[in-house]
Amino acid sequence: MVNVKVNLEKRSYNIHIGVSASNLIGSFMRNLKVSKKLLVISDTIVGDLYGIQMVESLVKDGFAAELYCVSCGEHSKNLDMAMELYTKAITLELDRNCAIIALGGGVIGDLSGFVAATYLRGVPFIQIPTSLLAQVDSSVGGKVAVNHPMGKNLIGAFYQPRMVLIDIDFLSTLPNRELYTGLAEVIKYGMIADKKFFTYLSDHSQQILDKRPDALTEIVRRSCEIKAWVVEQDECESSIRAILNFGHTIGHAIEADTNFSIYNHGEAVAIGMYGAAMISHHLNMCSKATVDILKHILLQFNLPVSAPECGIDDLFKLLYRDKKVLDNKITWVLLNDIGEVNLCNQVPENIVKLALAEITQSNILS
Ligand SMILES: NC(=O)c1ccc[n+]([C@@H]2O[C@H](COP(=O)([O-])OP(=O)(O)OC[C@H]3O[C@@H](n4cnc5c(N)ncnc54)[C@H](O)[C@@H]3O)[C@@H](O)[C@H]2O)c1
Ligand SMILES: O=C(O)C(=O)C[C@@H](O)[C@H](O)[C@H](O)COP(=O)(O)O
Ligand SMILES: [Zn+2]
């Protein structure tokens, strides 16, 4: 087992990472000193695969655990679903010591975390992420949210989990497309903070794509370490945390413009990172060679670099729904080099539109 600590004073917590780590759920939960009654929230796919055995294991350890599954996918991340979960929590008579456990991908983590943050003004929250994206990113750092039809994650909070428990075994059943989507956020960490890690990804691409447990453990561990390091400096995103949003300004616009149904989150972020890199190059912040290195690794991990279904003007309007917009100016996360980014709110409209034109064309792959 590997342990990464997130140091946030009273809100500090551990991320436990390991093959078969979920077998230890009962003893980890006992250490948290929460009530015996708890609610495990999952989706129908993950619930069928792992939910029943997780609940049985908790029950064996003396917990009164109940499983509730919502339908799969981004369309469950909304206020109606949150309401359904509040109703479940009230019916079960959960009190302020009763924990909510998110067992699933980022959709389940964000939705359950939002419910945990708001039900009774906050109950203990535990993340057991099962997708690669959730293991490397969404389970750590406390951003919880639901979507509004007009934009991504527009209703949410910062609410840290009490523990993150990552079982690498879960990834054995993850479909390839979902593996690639998680890799987009992993590539993000290399781009924003760690050139050596970026090189590791490129040197070990086959082991990663083959889901070798040692390679997966390493990318999960290093990603969590980088995320913890950023979040510890700026929990509520008033400065450096914005770098974790590299690729997201355009990525979230693509997700909203396509009604959350063509590209999943990581794919949209992949296209967004390529767009942000193009902007950086047009502003002479980074070389064309750097942009090409990014494009190469995205394609190597089967990720898209263009969204031909989207229109430049629609995307441009949607950029202004980004949470980093202040005084009608977008804060862009731009690239200096692999492993180094900067925040910039002075990008001319014509440069943004040039990059949007590049990422909405259909023959970009060559
Ligand atoms: N809070 C944050 O910091 C943060 C960070 C990144 C992304 N996100 C959010 O996370 C969401 C995307 O998360 P995601 O990519 O995990 O999507 P997801 O939760 O929809 O999971 C993707 C699919 O994989 C399935 N799945 C998950 N684990 C599985 C497993 N072990 N075996 C088989 N199938 C499995 C799910 O059932 C689902 O169908 C987006 O809403 C995004 O905005 C949040
Ligand atoms: O943790 C963060 O901070 C991030 O930005 C991580 C992102 O990968 C994630 O997609 C996050 O949900 C985006 O947040 P938002 O504030 O742009 O909605
Ligand atoms: Zn993301």
Q: Spell out the domains of the chain, with CATH numbers in brackets.
A: 2-173 (3.40.50.1970), 176-360 (1.20.1090.10)
pTM (global) more than 0.90:
yes
Beta bridge partners of residue 343, listed in sequence order? 333
Active-site annotation holds for 265: yes
Q: What are phi and psi of 143, to 5 degrees?
A: -80, 115
The confidence band for 246, taking pLDDT boundaries of 50, 70 and 90, is very high
Mean pLDDT over residues 100-111, rounded?
Answer: 99
Give the per-residue pLDDT at 288.
98
Question: Which tens digit of pLDDT belongs to each residue from 302-338?
Answer: 999 999 999 999 999 999 999 999 999 999 999 999 9
Cα 109 to ligand 2 centre (Å):
13
Instruction: Quickly list DSSP for 214-264.
Output: HHHHHHHHHHHHHHHHHHHH-TT-SSGGGGGGTTHHHHHHHHHHTTTSSS-
* DSSP code, position 329: B
Q: Known binder of ligand: residue 122?
A: no
Q: How far apart are CA 288 and CA 281, in angstroms?
A: 6
Q: Of 107, 59, 63, 54, nearest to 85 (Cα)?
A: 107
Give the per-residue pLDDT at 362.
81
Three-state secondary-structure class, residue 83: helix
Q: Is the distance from the beta carbon of residue 251 to the nearest atom of ligand 1 less than 6 Å?
A: no
Cα 291-231-148 angle, rounded to 5 deg = 80
At residue 366, does pLDDT exceed 60?
A: no
Cα 193-324-126 angle, rounded to 5 deg = 70
ipTM: 0.99
Q: What's the mean pLDDT when you consider all of the chain?
A: 97
Cα 56 to ligand 2 centre (Å):
33
Residues with beta carbon inside 6 Å of ligand 2? Answer: 137, 141, 143, 152-153, 185, 237, 241, 244-245, 248, 323
Q: Known binder of ligand: residue 173?
A: yes
The confidence band for 364, taking pLDDT boundaries of 50, 70 and 90, is low
Q: Known binder of ligand: residue 110?
A: yes
